[in-house]
């Protein structure tokens, strides 16, 4: 999982067009999910996907800005 999250951060920094399109759909699903929480330590992370800015998933603990851009999966199969 760490590898895919690191890949997500790399994708986040690179902002690939295709990955952003997929990430946007995932971010919308995360934004409507009760497991998306705002993280105090992520408050400094700015994101073009405002739906997940500063948020993490409380099911896996991953920062959502990176997770939605990684090859990881949603732990409850929403995407
Ligand atoms: S990754 Fe899945 S469980 Fe986590 S916040 Fe997004 S939709 Fe919810």
Ligand 1 pocket (Cβ < 6 Å) reads 29-30, 33, 35-36, 57, 59, 74-76, 78
pLDDT at 33: 98
68 burial via Cβ count (<10 Å: 0-12, 13-18, 19+): buried
Compute, in angstroms, the gap from residue 35 CA to the centroid of ligand 1: 6
Compute, in angstroms, the gap from residue 14 CA to the centroid of ligand 1: 23
Q: Is 5 left (phi over 0), alpha (psi -120 to 50) or beta?
A: alpha
Q: Tell me: the pLDDT tens digits for 5-57? A: 777 777 777 655 547 889 999 999 999 999 999 988 888 888 889 999 999 99
Q: Closest residue (by CA) to atom 6 of ligand 1? A: 30
Determine the Cα angle at 79 with ends 67 and 61, to 5°: 35
Kindly tell me if the per-residue pLDDT of 3 is higher than 70.
Answer: yes
């Amino acid at each position: 999982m760490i590898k895919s999250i690191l890949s997500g951060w790399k994708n986040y920094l690179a902002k690939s067009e295709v990955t952003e399109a997929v990430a946007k759909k995932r971010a919308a699903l995360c934004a409507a999910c009760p497991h998306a929480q705002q993280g105090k330590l992520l408050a400094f992370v700015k994101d073009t996907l405002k739906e997940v800015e500063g948020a993490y998933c409380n099911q896996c603990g991953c920062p959502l800005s990176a997770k939605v851009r990684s090859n990881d999966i949603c732990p409850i199969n929403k995407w």
